């Protein structure tokens, strides 16, 4: 076992078994080739001969300098909105704009100021949008419209919807005061914020890519609103940043050491990075998932993050796993530690990252950014581009155009129809249970399964102070949906010895979608869709009551678009349409995997 300790409380330990020597060789290679010097000097040839999508994406290395002068402004802004009577903040964003804010909303930070309750909405699912709409009091809610490009269709659609909700309850001249933009300079969202007289516009560093932007305005504006002590957070970030500098032994440099482990083990076939995040850190696991998947899943390669499996005994895992345990001091992880000890004894490599205090998340953000960039060097890919993301977006635009021209979405014939469920894809069987198992039987060692759930999400339990009976019922149903998806992942793993994970659509398109189209093609994709029971219109423009389409149409278009993009890339995919019996359908499929 090797171990790196922080002078405060961060602990990083590894049990790499037979892979220890290969990782040491990778560290020596980085030292001999002065890889860290080159990275800190922003040498794009570390990854590719040309600077495109590299030289303008390395601003995260100097976020401390860029943001230090902004901290006082962020604190004052948060106090002002709290004094103005706002009690809740709802962030409208996707991917890099939403995942770090979710971490700040969830972690139990100690602070002298507890300001607003923060929630994150990163879905176009109509039932989910409706639930947030009914749960929040728009008169006391501040809406953070967050998009780096300023063109994200999900974010802009949600903005138009919630603008109209605010306009229905406050004076016309006050509507814009309920909205804040976080975006890049000169983006369409920045212009929109001026047009609608937003309370504030925060212009982020354009040289920081979205998934590397946790410690920029995209993460820190929401953090300030929940009362995070930003100076303390930055102190921890700076500690890790200094430890990841070029000087010193690479084996004692946490970013270089973790990057060597991730990259080298992937080259040796251990590319399923199984993230085991304790309860306090689960949203951070989702942030790491996006960082790894979108940064490395390209050119037929990729680190495949597995986030949603329950922990099992060593016998259920193939030899394609690397385990990473993310834990917080306050969480009881004794049982997890015991099982991981057995997993390590069985020869699987295990990494432990232990935090003693929530503010050490500032260290973790920088650590993983550095490690991912260096793992990409080992894999010989550019960690800052996303060449396959546009495919699903274009297919979605095609579906939306078909709807605009004809009033219906592109037609698709089911392969089979069952009682309350329809099957789409190349697999046919006399029951949905048989169809699911026939699809999974195509798998080979080294494959993985990704569930793509275009289904309602669970909402934050403290989103509303007094949930109505209808809202409480909806929350219970979405909690059961989530539990069933977790169970399906675990049962697939146990029955087929395949790594299995899931993502909610369209959220996953901004997280693992690049990986699904850009990796070596080892994925089996199971898409779940359902009927909308509480649909919501999308206005043509903010303040306009005429709808261009409804959220159900946008969500269905995104499911169609990604499905077609996966088929175009030669991926294996099947779709189960659950109709209006989502829970019953998932239970039925779950039972078939026993």
Per-residue pLDDT of the chain (594 residues; tens, 9 = 90+): 566 655 446 799 999 999 999 999 999 999 999 999 999 999 999 999 999 999 999 999 999 899 999 999 999 999 999 999 999 999 999 999 999 999 999 999 976 667 999 999 999 999 999 999 999 999 999 999 999 999 999 999 999 999 999 999 999 999 999 999 999 999 999 999 999 999 999 999 999 999 999 999 999 999 999 999 999 999 999 999 999 997 667 878 999 999 999 999 999 999 999 999 999 999 999 999 999 999 999 999 999 999 999 999 999 999 999 999 999 988 889 999 999 999 999 999 999 999 999 999 999 999 999 999 999 999 999 999 999 999 999 999 999 999 999 999 998 899 999 998 999 999 989 999 999 999 999 999 999 999 999 999 987 656 666 677 777 778 889 999 999 999 999 999 999 999 999 999 999 999 999 999 999 999 999 999 999 988 999 999 999 988 889 999 999 999 999 999 999 999 999 999 999 999 999 999 999 999
Instruction: For the chain, give every domain's residue range.
Output: 2-55+236-379, 69-228, 389-591
Domains 2-55+236-379 and 69-228 share a fold: yes
- Which has the closest alpha carbon to 499: 527, 523, 466, 483? 523
Superfamily of domain 69-228: Glucose-6-phosphate isomerase like protein; domain 1 (3.40.50.10490)
Distance CA 522, CA 497 (A): 14
How many C-beta atoms lie closer than 10 Å to residue 345's C-beta?
Answer: 12
Distance CA 409, CA 411 (A): 6
pTM value is 0.96
Helix, strand, coil % (nearest 5) of the chain? 50, 15, 35
Strand arrangement of the beta sheet that strand 421-424 belongs to:
416-418, 421-424, 572-577, 523-529, 448-453, 499-504
Distance CA 359, CA 411 (A): 50
List Cα–Cα distances, 367 to 16, 136, 250, in angstroms.
19, 36, 14
CA dihedral 64, 67, 71, 77 (to 10 degrees): -150
3-class secondary structure, 408 = coil
Sign for the pseudo-dihedral over CA of 182, 185, 191, 194: positive
What is the second-level CATH architecture of the domain 2-55+236-379? 3-Layer(aba) Sandwich (3.40)
Pick the CATH number of 389-591 from 1.10.287, 2.60.40, 3.30.70, 3.40.50: 3.40.50
Q: How many helices (H) and strands (E) does the chain have?
A: 20, 19
Rounded (10°) angle between helices 217-225 and 230-243: 140
Q: Where are the beta strands (DSSP E) in 136-188?
A: 141-146, 179-183
């Amino acid at each position: 076992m090797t171990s790196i300790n922080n002078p405060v409380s961060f602990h990083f330990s590894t049990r790499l078994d037979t892979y220890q020597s290969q990782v040491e060789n990778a560290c020596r290679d980085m030292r001999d080739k002065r890889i860290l010097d080159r990275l800190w000097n922003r040498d794009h040839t570390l990854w590719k001969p040309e600077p495109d999508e590299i030289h303008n994406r390395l601003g995260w290395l100097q976020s401390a300098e860029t943001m230090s002068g902004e901290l006082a402004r962020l604190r004052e802004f948060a106090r002002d909105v709290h004094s103005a009577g706002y009690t809740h903040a709802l962030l409208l964003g996707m991917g890099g704009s939403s995942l770090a804010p979710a971490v700040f909303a969830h972690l139990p930070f100690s602070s002298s100021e507890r300001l607003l309750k923060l929630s994150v909405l990163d879905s176009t699912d109509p039932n989910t949008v409706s639930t947030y709409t009914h749960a929040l009091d728009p008169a006391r809610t501040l809406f953070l419209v967050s998009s780096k490009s300023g063109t994200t269709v999900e974010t802009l659609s949600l903005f138009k919807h919630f603008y109209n909700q605010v306009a229905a309850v406050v004076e016309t001249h006050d509507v814009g005061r309920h909205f804040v933009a976080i975006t890049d300079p000169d983006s369409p969202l920045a212009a929109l914020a001026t047009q609608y007289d937003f309370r504030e516009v925060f212009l982020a560093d354009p040289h920081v890519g979205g998934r590397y932007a946790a410690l920029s305005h995209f993460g820190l504006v929401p953090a300030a609103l929940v009362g995070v002590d930003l100076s303390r957070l930055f102190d921890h970030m700076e500690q890790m940043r200094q430890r990841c500098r070029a000087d010193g032994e690479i084996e004692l440099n946490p970013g270089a050491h973790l990057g060597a482990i991730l990259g080298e083990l992937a080259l040796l076939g251990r590319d399923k990075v199984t993230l085991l995040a304790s309860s306090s850190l689960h949203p951070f696991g989702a942030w790491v998932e996006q960082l790894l998947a979108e940064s490395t899943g390209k050119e037929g390669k990729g680190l495949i993050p597995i986030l949603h499996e329950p922990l099992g005994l060593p016998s259920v895992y193939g030899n394609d796993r690397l385990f990473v345990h993310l834990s917080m001091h306050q969480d009881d992880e004794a049982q997890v530690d015991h099982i991981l000890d057995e997993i390590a004894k069985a020869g699987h490599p295990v990494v432990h990252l232990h935090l003693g205090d929530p503010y050490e998340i500032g260290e973790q953000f920088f650590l993983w950014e550095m490690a991912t960039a260096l793992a990409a060097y080992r894999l010989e890919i550019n960690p800052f581009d996303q060449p396959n993301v546009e495919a699903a977006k274009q297919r979605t635009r095609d579906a939306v155009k078909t709807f605009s021209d004809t009033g219906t979405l592109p037609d698709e014939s089911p392969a089979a129809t069952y009682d309350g469920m329809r099957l789409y894809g190349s697999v046919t069987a006399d029951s949905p249970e048989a169809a699911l198992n026939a699809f999974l039987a195509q798998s080979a060692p080294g494959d993985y399964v990704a569930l793509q759930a275009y289904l309602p999400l669970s909402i934050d339990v403290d989103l509303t102070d007094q949930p109505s009976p209808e809202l409480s019922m909806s929350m219970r149903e979405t909690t059961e949906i989530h539990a069933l998806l977790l169970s399906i992942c675990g049962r697939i793993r146990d029955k087929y010895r395949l790594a299995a994970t899931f993502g909610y659509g369209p959220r996953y398109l901004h997280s693992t979608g690049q990986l699904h189209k850009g990796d070596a093609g080892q994925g089996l994709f199971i898409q779940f869709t359902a009927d909308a029971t509480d649909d919501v219109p999308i206005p043509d423009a903010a303040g306009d009551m005429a709808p261009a389409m409804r959220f159900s149409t946008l969500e269905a278009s995104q499911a169609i678009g990604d499905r077609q993009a996966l088929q175009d890339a030669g991926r294996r995919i099947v779709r189960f349409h659950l109709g209006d019996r989502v829970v019953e359908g998932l239970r039925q499929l779950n039972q078939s995997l026993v």
